[in-house]
Amino acid sequence: MTIHAIQTGSVRIKRSQVRGSGRGLRRRLRVFTDSEWTDWLPTYAWLIDHPEGIIVVDTGQGRHLVDSVRSLHPYHRWEVAFRIEPEEEIGPRLRALGVALRDVKRVLLTHLHVDHDGGLTHFPDTHILVARGELQTARGWVGRMRGYLPNRWPSWFDPIALDLAPDSFGPFAASSRLTMAGDVIAVATPGHTADHLSVIVVDQGTMYVIAGDASYTEALMMTGLIDGVSADEASARTTLGRLQRLAAERPTVYLPTHDPESADRLSNRRLACGRHSAGTR
């Protein structure tokens, strides 16, 4: 089994979105008043080349996001900027890796934010899995007001609603096995969105955590600092605590979507700095 990091363009957001400042509503409003931008950050999607079939986690950015400056939604208009060329979308990226799109057995979306579902158009023949609650949150006009772009979903988009079982996996309370071998597991990591998922790939005793936006960087996960957009601070904190516990108890390679070090961390199998991993480096 191999995991590939696939960069689908890059994004700039406000610093207070990456690292939340203050509490409650003030923390979330701070994103709109902050004048400090991050550097350009990568947006990764992930390919799991598994003996039971290829699984893609997230589809990254789509070229349409470059027009987001014209959006009527205040977040899209003022608080985010995207860069992506057509050949950087996930379809061309996978073909460049020698992967035929019809061979992608399943796509799982950690959540439906626009830089995670932006490449859906490349997967008309693939089973697509989304957490049931996330799908409900993102749909329709209410979804658009929340900053989702359901109007950009392909007309054929009819994903399989994923319900995690109350089976714990490590520190995580709910999970769902995605392979017969039981080595690719979706786990509930609520916070950034209420139904956010992460995917854990277990390979030779190491946990590869495809973390979506559970945190924007490994350092923020390890320090337990929540971002500027999570609606529910308590569940975001609980999730970061669970990720810390996993990193402390098992060798863990932590792979957030926008961490500039994720690809390098994956290729060098660099472990999160928990107690256990420090001893196994």
State how far the Cα of 193 lies from the Cα of 207, in Å rounded to an integer: 23
In the chain, count H helices and then E strands. Answer: 10, 12
Pick 230 or 277: Cβ nearer Zn ion: 230
Pick 114 or 253: Cβ nearer Zn ion: 114
- Tokens in use for 52? 């039971």
Tell me which amino acid residue 4 is. H
Pick 244 or 257: Cβ nearer Zn ion: 257
Instruction: Point out which residues bind Zn ion (CB under 5 A).
Output: 113, 213
Least distance CB 185 / Zn ion (angstroms): 21
State how far the Cα of 259 lies from the Cα of 214, in Å rounded to an integer: 11
- What DSSP letter does each residue of 30-69 carry, written as one string? HHHH--PBP--EEEEEEEEEETTEEEEE-----GGGGGGG
Q: Are 115 and 134 in contact (CB under 8 A)?
A: no
Closest-by-Cβ residue to Zn ion is 113
Least distance CB 111 / Zn ion (angstroms): 6
Least distance CB 67 / Zn ion (angstroms): 19
Alpha helical stretches, state H, 139-232? 140-145, 218-223
Pick 162 or 211: Cβ nearer Zn ion: 211
Least distance CB 84 / Zn ion (angstroms): 16
CA atoms within 13 A on the CB side of 19: 12
Pick 228 or 251: Cβ nearer Zn ion: 228
Least distance CB 116 / Zn ion (angstroms): 6
